[in-house]
Amino acid sequence: MTAYIKKCTLEDLQTLQEISIDTFNSAFKDQNSPENMNAYLDKAFNLKQLETELSTTSSQFYFVYVNDDVAGYLKVNTNEAEVGQDCIEIERIYLKTNYQKHGLGKLLLNKAVEIALQLNRKKIWLGVWEKNDNAIAFYKKMGFVQTGSHSFYLGDEEQLDYIMTKTLS
């Protein structure tokens, strides 16, 4: 399997929307109501919202490709974080189901580490849903520890996200 990472541009907007909806839906549709899923997908992944995020200098998106197929994506935020100024945030790291457990998540995570080190940041943080056991296990394996929690709204439902951080050396 040949995999590579490419930074997203505005020309990738439609593909970004498709992979965002596809991967979020696959990850969470079975544990949430259709109404809350649709409300969140419409708000977070409409073309205008994604265009705004892509145009923000403190946000960066990257696709991971396997051959010529977009297998998943990463979104990092480099502005001041709720856990401190010396951090970057992994806001999203999602893979299509058929590409999970092939080392691509680690590849995207390593890209985030590379960005953090280039910016002389000391930590990476992220929020992960308390019921997303696979993601929590992955992040722990990659050296993240739970350091707090915050609320995340999916439609009108308040959910709990664990805050996990990784200190870079």
Q: Round to whole Å and give the CA distance between 102 and 26.
A: 17
Three-class secondary structure of residue 163 per DSSP: strand
Tell me whether residue 139 is one of the annotated catalytic residues: yes
Neighbours of 30 (CB within 10 A): 8
- Phi, psi (rounded to 5 degrees) for 88: -120, 160
Which residue of the set 62, 94, 139, 162 is catalytic? 139
Enter the DSSP assignment of 123: E
Residue 93: name the closest of 161, 24, 42 by CA.
24
* DSSP string for residues in 62-120: EEEEETTEEEEEEEEE-S-BTTBTTEEEEEEEEE-GGGTTSSHHHHHHHHHHHHHHHTT
**Which are the catalytic amino acids?**
139
